[in-house]
Structure 1
Amino acid sequence: MVITKDQFESYRDEVISIRRDIHAHPELGFQEERTAKLVEEYLAECGIQTQRVAKTGVVGLLHGSQPGRTLLLRADMDALPVQEETGLPFASQNPGVMHACGHDGHTAILLVAAKILAGMKNQLAGTVKFVFQPNEEIDGASYMVKEPGVLNDPPVDSSFALHLWSPIPSGKIGLQSGAVMAEMYIFKIKIIGRSGHSSTPQDCKDPILCACTVVQNLQSIQTREISALDPTNIIVGKIAAGTAANIIPDIAEIEGSMRYLYDGSDNSPQHPRKRFERLVAGICAAYGMDYELEFIPSNYTVINDEASVRFLKNHVLSHFADSTDIIPYHCMGGEDFSEFTNHNGIPGALVFVGTGNPSAGSDKPHHNAKFTIDEDTLLTGVKLHVFTALEYLSSKDKE
């Protein structure tokens, strides 16, 4: 089960070419028709059967020569509504749409890894599912996992993914167990008062005054109730109320987002959303207001399984990375990969592949109009997927 450095190097131009082609033709979530067709045709040429799911999602199924476990490897395909400003010769040809998060690289990496593994299928004992997911930026995974053939038929035993990550320098790999990417919820609060003339505030219930108190006190959750060592981020992005300067309105509306790495029970009173609702209810009661509170899930916390992380460190990364290049890492960004792992009870892990390199211009933030990746890190991703599959399907006892 040996694949040499030179063999990987022989795929360098191919993975770069695929990435650049996808980068030049970005597509928004659930609109990835060209990308999905590219994926299907490439996998078919490798002898891998495919299935279209969740409109533009693609699942490729590779059976080894012997029965065994089923491994899921996932890449996302969608772009962002951003006007590209990189000036690259292969920049987006679709105005207002750009691959500003590395998903073009993820797709290219998994395609080339699939090609290599297809050529080694006689050495595999089990099945690899290559999952190409649409609409990661807006929770496309929740649609995908409901489709037949994604998490079942055959049932998935473990799931792994990677994310090219510009905050980490090229050559470094971010990996740790536990919560590594934040859960995110959009919140909407409607505070219901009683309108009237500003000359007689005693006859009204002013929802704006109440809303101001709510906004100011929401910050106390993350600064006074939760340890600074447990990241929590509550941001109000929108406040709307009133129609005229001399009218106290009936309703004030507040919208924003919550991000946190909390991995405890949703029913615990210590959960950030439970704390949030308790505070809103208390303030509204103090002002004599009614309220409506809605939480809209965007993605759940990505929690790396401890045994999966141990497996990667002991048996996968050692093939191509020094131990000094592996660093603990977590962040407040959101990722819906949790749908393939902890949220559905499947062990697995998300690995951050550093792609930050000032000389390559790849040190810009994700979702920035000048974002790009260090293409030298694409082969690192290919190696990660290939060795994960080879090692995982070679033994049931590896951790």
Structure 2
Amino acid sequence: MSLDSTAKIKAAVNKVAGKVIEIRKTIHQNPELSFQEEETAALAAAEMEKLGFKVEENVFATGVVATFINSNSESDKTLLIRADMDALPIQEKNDLSYKSQKSGVMHACGHDGHTAILIGTAMVLKELAAEFSGKIKFVFQPGEETSGGAEGMIKTGVLESPKVDAALGLHLWGSTPYGVVEYKAGPFMAAPDRFDLTIIGRGGHAARPHNTIDPIPIGAEIISALQTIVSRKVDPLESAVISVCKFSAGSTHNVIPDQAEIKATVRSLKEDLRQQLAADIESVIKNICNIYDADYKLDYIFGYPAVKNDAVITDLLASSAAKILGPARVQKRTKAEMGGEDFSYFGLEVPSVFYFLGIAPAGKVINHHQADFKFANDILKDGVAVMAQTAIDFFAAD
């Protein structure tokens, strides 16, 4: 890739930047929950058809796959670039001209930006088709915020015909400085597991607790004991989180309830530790309930796997980002992020890299999944530029 080609990418990005922003505003005004992304999918499909790509719609519900065959050789590589499309059940509080028009639904995690960036990337790569030889799959994925659409799309064959050699994805990130690309090979984001626990005791009058099996102190003891799993059973140099986020029981001041409910999230980066945490959590619950003659019902849900970035593709991404944005705007992370992402499923199948593009103003953090989540639209052109540069460099690499 010559400097002249990089200059061509920048020029092509500037050419479509206004269009990409307008697409993002349109999607932001019309947010759709997981697996309901019909308008967003239709918009993405229409833009891909304008570019002359082969477009498949309704892939695993509302997914869209656009394939750009820019090659005359069967041996040329295939790159998959993915964006998630879904919004969240949150009432937007921002005072924007393109504020959500749907009550109780908003894009509070940046997926509108991801989708717009992918559309812009497709526009730029079509414009610069003479700069590379290869095949690209632009994947617009549903349902990242809930049960996940990545695994389902893979099962429907998104990695085949043509067979994908590598995958690329990004997330606009609220704790990363504005305009900075953050990357890391190996574990990058955690496996987000969770559990629902019902402690089954025996209720009664609050004045006669000795005639009951009170689930409230049992639950309190379980919550306290769970914290010792991370502090005393997990290697201090490993990463793990157990956070109890809901503890509910009873309905009044003088009745000991029959049951108490606990909801918690469990985060880890390594599969063996992930399994260990699940076993240790149930052991704590079982033993404490046995002490007090209580019973329990545990529903332990394994979520997405951890995101693990391939070293070779990650190095390519870092090099490409430095080339198009400048080395000062590319930073290697020293620690993984304990949030989860179902892009991890692509990484289980093909060499992949997932990276962050910062949206945080100087000295501030933008919190995701909040009613006031917002970011500057100018960041979208940087997302397009990095994706386009990385794609072209991928095809130029041996």
TM-score relative to the length of structure 1: 0.88
Gaps of 5+ in 2: none
- Paired residues for 1:1-399 under 5 Å: 2-4=5-7, 5-52=10-57, 53-65=59-71, 66-67=73-74, 68-142=76-150, 144-195=152-203, 201-202=209-210, 204-227=212-235, 229-242=237-250, 248-260=256-268, 262-265=269-272, 271-314=276-319, 316-329=320-333, 330-341=336-347, 344-357=348-361, 363-395=365-397, 397=398
Contact 2:66 2:139 in 1 (8 A): yes
Contact 2:189 2:339 in 1 (8 A): yes
Give per-residue Cα distances to partners, 1:70-126, cap 9 Å, x unaligned: 211100111112222221112112222211111111111110111222234455433
Relative distance call for 1:161 and 1:331 in structure 2 (3 A) is same
Q: CA deviation at 1:19?
A: 1.2
Secondary structure in structure 2 of the residue aligned to 1:91: coil
Secondary structure in structure 2 of the residue aligned to 1:355: strand
Superposed CA RMSD: 2.5
Secondary structure in structure 1 of the residue aligned to 2:340: coil
For 1:385 and 1:42, how far apart are their aligned partners in 2? Answer: 18
Q: How many residue pairs were aligned? A: 388
Contact 2:249 2:260 in 1 (8 A): yes
Aligned residue identity for 1:187: F
Aligned residue identity for 1:54: F
Secondary structure in structure 1 of the residue aligned to 2:302: strand
Give per-residue Cα distances to partners, 1:117-139, cap 9 Å, x unaligned: 22344554332111101121113
For 2:133 and 2:64, how far apart are their aligned partners in 1? Answer: 23
Aligned residue identity for 1:71: L
Q: CA deviation at 1:267?
A: 7.4
For 2:158 and 2:45, how far apart are their aligned partners in 1? Answer: 16
Aligned residue identity for 2:270: D
Aligned residue identity for 2:353: A
Secondary structure in structure 2 of the residue aligned to 1:235: strand
For 1:57 and 1:131, how far apart are their aligned partners in 2? Answer: 8
Q: CA deviation at 1:25?
A: 1.6
Contact 1:145 1:339 in 2 (8 A): no
Aligned residue identity for 2:196: K
Give per-residue Cα distances to partners, 1:127-156, cap 9 Å, x unaligned: 211110112111322453344231223332
Secondary structure in structure 1 of the residue aligned to 2:77: strand
Aligned residue identity for 1:134: P
Q: CA deviation at 1:60?
A: 0.7
Q: CA deviation at 1:308?
A: 1.9
For 1:309 and 1:267, how far apart are their aligned partners in 2? Answer: 24
Secondary structure in structure 1 of the residue aligned to 2:350: coil
For 1:135 and 1:368, how far apart are their aligned partners in 2? Answer: 18
Secondary structure in structure 1 of the residue aligned to 2:296: strand
Q: CA deviation at 1:247?
A: 5.2
Gaps of 5+ in 1: none
Relative distance call for 1:92 and 1:203 in structure 2 (3 A) is closer
Aligned residue identity for 2:358: G
For 2:274 and 2:360, how far apart are their aligned partners in 1? Answer: 39
Secondary structure in structure 2 of the residue aligned to 1:383: helix
Contact 2:63 2:153 in 1 (8 A): no
